[in-house]
Amino acid sequence: MTMSEKNQKITRIIACKVFKPAIDALQLEKRYPSLCLTYLPSNLHLRPQELRERMLTRIKAAQKRNERVICLYGDCFPGIGDFCEEYGVTKVPGHYCYEMLLGSKRFRQLLNETVGTYFAEKELIQNFEEYCAIPLELHDEEMKRYCFNQYRRLLYVRQPSDPNLVARAGEVADFLGLSLDISDADYSYLEKSLIGLL
């Protein structure tokens, strides 16, 4: 390691664990030796206040170490953009993790193609009971209708490292009374966004 690499300021990405397969695939840590990553559990979006508090703890710890901080999250708690600005953190552009995994153009196309698209990725499909069915009381038919009546299809955003989840995604779609479609993630949008910030 050269002296300039040693003295280079560390950049810390604080990200939802949903993005770990993408970050691993892009090999950003190999390409940027001064990059460090912190992942927070993907189910924290169910508890926005806790997400905010845990993110703030990680931000303050990183800044105490004089690290530059990038936030890789969608709009997962109210006012996240203002929050990042207040604490001097750069937020990766994008309102939804699915938008970042598919690219804005593809994401909008998919939304426009079927009004009432419910997006899901590996973490949600594998942990559907814990992340969705139990908290929303979806085993109550009335609650299921209330929560999902406006949806027409479940769209599984598949990442290259995912195990075979097609059958499980089909079970979730059947439970919700939705059709199932699959769209493969395209990391080029996320890669461009992150490299632009690094």
161-197: per-residue pLDDT in tens? Answer: 999 999 999 999 999 999 999 999 999 999 999 999 9
Q: pLDDT tens digits for 10-52?
A: 999 999 999 999 999 999 999 999 999 999 999 998 899 999 9
Dihedrals phi, psi of 142, to nearest 5 degrees? -65, -40
Measure the CA–CA gap between 84 and 61, rounded to whole angstroms: 15
Vertex 51, ends 50 and 57: CA angle to 5°?
90
Q: CA–CA separation, 68 vs 60, rounded Å?
A: 11
Classify burial at 90, counting beta carbons within 10 Å of its beta carbon; exposed 0-12, middle 13-18, buried 19 or more: middle
